[in-house]
Structures are given as C-alpha cells and as structure tokens.
C-alpha cells in the first residue's frame, strides 16, 4: 500500500472535532428585533430601521390601471423652438414617491392634494387634452412630461423634453425632469452630464428656478449612486449632505432635505435627535405625507404606537395609495405582532405598488428570516434583484446569509462574490462566510477556495492576537486557523493540518477541543504513541470524551495492543477494531 493511500485509510478512521463555532459562518440577516433573537453569530451592526439597505433604492410605481393616455403627436414636440425659455417659474410639489422627492408643474390649477390622490395616468390624460387644444405650448409639454413621471413612465418624459434638453441653453426645468426620469430608469451613468449642466445653469442670474431645489436633486442622485456597504454611509459623505442642508434657504425645500437626510439616509441608531429633526420637518410642512410617514416609523421604533398610528391615519387619509405610508403601516403590523398572514400581505401590497423599491422587499425578507423561513427570505430578495439594474451591495451580503442558512451553498458563494467589502471587518466577515460555503461543498476545489480565504484571514489578523485573552476561540485568527486545519484534514493534507492545530495548542495548551483534534491528526499521520499520549491528558469530564476514547482505541489497534484497544473501544461505546487491520 502506498504511503498516500495508507494515510487516506487512517484519515477515514481517525476523527477531528471542529471547535464550537470555528467553521460557523458569521451570517447576518439584519432583523428588526433585538440582537438576542438573531440566530446568527455576528451582526453587521446595522439595524433594520436605519439599515444601509434602507438607503439605496426608492420605488418606481407601476402605471395605474386607468386607461392609457393617448400618445403625444410628434408635431407637437417639433413645434417647440429649441431656444424657448419659460417665462415663469413652475410650481414645486412634494410627492409621496420616495424615488422622486418633488415634481414641477406650470399649470396653476394643480394643487398638492392632487399629487397625493390623483393617479399619474389621470394627469397624463388631462395635459394631453390641453396639448391637443394648444399644440406646441412649451409649458403644457413640460407639464405632460411631469405627469408621465408620476405615471411611472419616465421614458416618455425623456422623449417629450428632448426639444428643451438638446438646446445649447437648455431650460433648467427640463434638466430637472431629465434627471428625475434617469433616476427612475436607473440610468445612473447618464446623470453626471445633466447634473453638470444643472450646476452651471443654476449659477446664472437669469435662472428661473430657485437653485435650492438643485440641492434636493443632488442629494437624491448622490445617495442613489453612492457605493454603500453593509455598514452605511461614511462621515465624509454625510458632511456633503449637511452642506446641502445649509444651502437650502426655502422652508419647504429645507423640510424635504431634512426628510431625505434623517428619515431615509442617516445610518446611525435612531435617536432623540432624529425625532427632533423629523418633527422640525413636519412643522415646516404639516400636510406632508412623506414627513408623517417617516415620523411614524421613528415613533414605532420608540414604541410610541398610538402616536405613530395617529400620524399614519392622517397620512393614509391624504394619500391612501402611497407606498411609503403603507410601508409604515406594514412595519406597525410587525411591531405589534399581528398575524403572519396580515404582515406578509401588507408588505406584498407595498411591493406591488413599488416593485423597484428595495426597502419593503428587504423588510419582508427580514421578517421571513426572523421566522426562520430562510428559503422565503432568500427568494424574496432574488426576485427583487432580477427587477433592478442597480447594484445592491448590502443586499448581496444579506441574501447570501439566508442562502447559507438553508444549505444553498453554491448560490450563497455567487452572492458573496458579488459583494464588495469596503472596510476591514467586512472583508473578514465575507471571507469567513464564503469559506464556510466553499468547505460545505465537500469538493477538492471547494476546499481549495476555503483554504485561500482562511489563509487570508490568518495573515491579516495574526498581529491582532493578544498575548493573553480569556477566550482565544472568539478571535477571527483562531477561528480561521482551526477551520483551515479541518479543510487540510479533509483534503488529506495532514502535515499542514497538524501544523495549524499545533499552533492553536501552543496558544491555549489547556483547550481540550484542540487536544482532541491533535489526537485525530496525529493518528492519521501514523504517530500513534503521540496520539495516545495527548488523548490521555484529556480529563474524563470533557464533553466529547467518547470521541477521544475512540481515537485512542484506533491508535492502540494500529500498535497491535489489542487489549488496550478493546478497553477504550468499550469506553467509547463502539465495536472494537481488529488489531489485524
């Protein structure tokens, strides 16, 4: 028998015991409940209420079920002089669509309550009819383009305003609508040039739009395109948002910026400070559906359920079809522990209204994870990712964690590979989780990839190992070293496995789990006397002592000491192995 084959036979007989948690992934599902209820080992320190995932996407509402508006005749657009400038300022309206912080209309008959309660398709019909009566009117064409934004048809908006945006001196109103349309279409690579035009134009004294409105749009664009990680926004980026706040002089615009900053994008624990800011925004515009909804979510987090419900009732009365408001209602159902079917139905209603908005999808996924329905949790996120072009970095990490929980290892690996860590701890967590998934494939290739990830962690964390610690097993370095030793053992690389286990043994000589692993790897290497010696040092009170006795029995059998082998086999509760193996 060859030496390699001999060692393979020995490895099949001797066992090593993986340290508790050593190969366990640091999965984070980011549930809304207290950390004690999270079944995973390590959290990414993000809370559902202010999760990084709550930053990226906002809804693109489905077109309403009302009849489609008639298509604008091409001659109506062609009749607009490309050098035409608008003679007055458009009105500024808040929307209840978190994707689109505002919308502009020239028509003086449009009022705020219509933006909340009238469907976009209805407004399209209204302005199409006006345009048919007054072909080529630039203000009506613009208003029709805004109506298409509210109807969830941004491609029509872009088509309508081409006559303005292609001009050498484009109207600032048209540039705003072009940006909003590109955001809804998730064409982030096309926005930069338009923003530059907006910035240049807004500095001109003859600008027809208050430049403060630009800061709201810039905030939205920055936040939609910022490469968020699993932990949130860094301080430098938040400082940029503060600059926008300082530049907004108009009260209503300031309120919208407060909403964007504190209700949607602040990645710190919700606090009294946030409550005060949201209260300030609501005082600026007491009829705002968005502010009421955001404030209600803050109150829910603070467990002030009655006050939250009062705000939600007011918001629903103003806009019964707002995805933002109905999401707050769904969160309330969850917080109040309503029946599971009611909670799921509430989230699904929001998703149907805003299929590209990430937040209701993420929350529903987290709800399923809390109920340990990890397949449902994962499938909810997968379905959403197929509907968006936007890179959802933090969602990849969350999704991979759910897949790991249900042993969908290959899929988990794909999403871990898609996740781009931006800080050190993310890199460590990513590689720990991915290595676990690779190892679970039980293939030579999988073990090879797992060893690569564990080696990276070992090399990067070796200098962080303290000389004295109450529990070495909690260190990333320890866990990676122990896990790599298992991968080496399963791959029949016994010498390398032994070296890793010996390193751990020197760090913590009294650790019985490591001593047990040492008995296994020494036996697999044919070093039977050493295996027995280490095994006999382990006290009988050790929780896995029967596994130790089994390794000792095997070592005695290979040494032809049959009596001792049978003795320890009986102590292990297994059938004695023949000494003539």
Where is pLDDT greater, at 94 or 398?
A: 398
Q: Which of 56-60, 90-94, 342-346, 402-406 has the lowest mean pLDDT?
A: 56-60
Q: What is the mean pLDDT of residues 556-574?
A: 92
Mean per-residue pLDDT of the chain: 75
Q: Which of 128-142, 189-203, 298-312, 502-516 has the lowest mean pLDDT?
A: 189-203
- Assess contact for 183 and 191: CB atoms under 8 A: yes
- Assess contact for 115 and 150: CB atoms under 8 A: yes
Task: Pick from 13-17, 126-130, 200-204 the range whose average pLDDT is largest.
Answer: 126-130
Taking the domains of the chain in order of start, what are their residue ranges? 58-209
Res 534: pLDDT? 95
Res 325: pLDDT? 87
pLDDT tier at 241 (50, 70, 90 boundaries)? low
For tokens 């090399």, the residue is 459
Neighbours of 268 (CB within 10 A): 13
Task: Pick from 101-105, 234-238, 258-262, 533-537 the range whose average pLDDT is largest.
Answer: 533-537
Res 294: pLDDT? 77
Res 278: pLDDT? 67
| Domain 58-209 fold | 1.25.40
Q: What is the mean pLDDT of residues 251-266?
A: 50
User: Residue 93: which residues within 8 A CB-CB, separation 6 or more?
Assistant: 102, 103, 104, 105, 110, 112, 115
pLDDT digits (tens, 9 = 90+) for 45-92: 222 222 222 222 223 333 333 333 333 343 344 444 444 556 667 777
Paired tokens of 130: 């006006």
Where is pLDDT greater, at 276 or 545?
A: 545
pLDDT tier at 355 (50, 70, 90 boundaries)? confident
Res 219: pLDDT? 62
Q: With 0-12 CB in 10 A as exposed, 13-18 as middle and 19+ as buried, what is 561?
A: middle
Paired tokens of 263: 């209700």
């Amino acid at each position: 028998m060859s030496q390699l084959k001999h060692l393979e036979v020995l490895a099949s007989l001797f066992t090593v015991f993986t340290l508790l948690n050593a190969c366990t992934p640091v999965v984070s599902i980011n549930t809304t409940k207290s950390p004690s209820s999270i079944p995973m080992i390590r959290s990414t320190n993000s809370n559902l209420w202010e999760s990084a995932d709550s930053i990226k996407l906002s809804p693109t509402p489905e077109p309403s079920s009302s009849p489609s508006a008639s298509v604008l005749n091409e001659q109506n657009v062609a009749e607009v002089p490309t050098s035409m400038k608008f003679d007055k300022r458009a009105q500024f309206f808040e929307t209840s669509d978190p994707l689109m912080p505002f919308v502009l209309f020239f028509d003086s008959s449009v009022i705020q309550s219509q933006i909340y309660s009238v469907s976009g398709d209805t407004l399209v019909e209204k302005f199409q009819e006006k345009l048919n009566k007054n072909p080529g009117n630039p203000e009506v064409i613009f208003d029709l383009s805004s109506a298409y934004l509210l109807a969830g048809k941004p491609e029509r908006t872009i088509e309508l305003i081409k006559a303005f945006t292609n001009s050498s001196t484009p109207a600032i109103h048209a540039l705003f609508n072009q940006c909003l349309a590109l955001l809804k279409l998730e064409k982030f690579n096309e926005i930069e040039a338009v923003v530059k035009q907006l910035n240049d134009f807004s500095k001109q004294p003859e600008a027809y739009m208050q430049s403060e409105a630009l800061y709201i749009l810039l905030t939205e664009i920055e936040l939609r395109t910022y490469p968020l990680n699993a932990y949130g926004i860094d301080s430098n980026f938040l400082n940029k948002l503060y600059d926008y706040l300082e530049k907004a002089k108009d009260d209503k615009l300031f309120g919208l910026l407060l909403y964007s900053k504190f209700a949607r994008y602040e990645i710190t624990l919700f606090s009294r400070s946030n409550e005060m800011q949201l209260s300030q925004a609501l005082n600026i515009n007491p009829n705002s559906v968005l502010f009421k909804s955001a404030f209600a979510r803050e109150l829910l987090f603070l467990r002030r359920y009655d006050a939250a419900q009062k705000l939600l009732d007011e918001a629903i009365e103003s806009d019964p079809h707002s995805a933002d408001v109905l999401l707050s209602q769904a969160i309330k159902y969850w917080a109040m522990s309503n029946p599971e079917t009611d909670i799921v139905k509430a989230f699904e209603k929001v998703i149907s209204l805003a299929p590209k908005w990430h937040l209701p999808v993420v929350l529903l996924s987290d709800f399923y994870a809390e109920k340990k329905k990890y397949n449902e949790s994962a499938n909810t996120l997968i379905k959403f990712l197929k509907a968006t072009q936007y890179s959802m970095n933090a969602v990849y990490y969350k999704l991979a964690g759910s897949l790991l929980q249900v042993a969908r290892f290959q899929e988990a690996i794909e999403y871990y590979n898609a996740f781009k860590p931006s800080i050190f701890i993310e890199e460590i967590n990513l590689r720990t989780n991915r290595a676990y998934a690779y190892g679970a494939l039980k293939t030579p290739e999988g073990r090879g990839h797992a060893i690569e990830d564990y080696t990276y962690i070992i090399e990067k964390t070796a200098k962080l190992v303290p000389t004295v610690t109450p529990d070495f097993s909690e260190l990333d370095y320890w866990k990676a070293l122990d896990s790599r030793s298992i991968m080496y053992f399963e791959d029949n690389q016994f010498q390398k496995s032994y070296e890793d286990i010996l390193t751990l043994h020197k760090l913590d000589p009294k650790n019985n789990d490591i001593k047990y692993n040492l008995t296994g790897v020494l036996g697999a290497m044919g070093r039977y006397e050493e295996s027995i010696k280490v095994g006999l040092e382990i006290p009988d009170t050790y929780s896995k002592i029967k596994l130790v006795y089994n390794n000792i029995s095997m070592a005695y059998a290979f040494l032809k000491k049959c009596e001792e082998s049978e003795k320890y086999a009986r102590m292990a509760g297994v059938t004695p192995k023949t000494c003539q193996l």
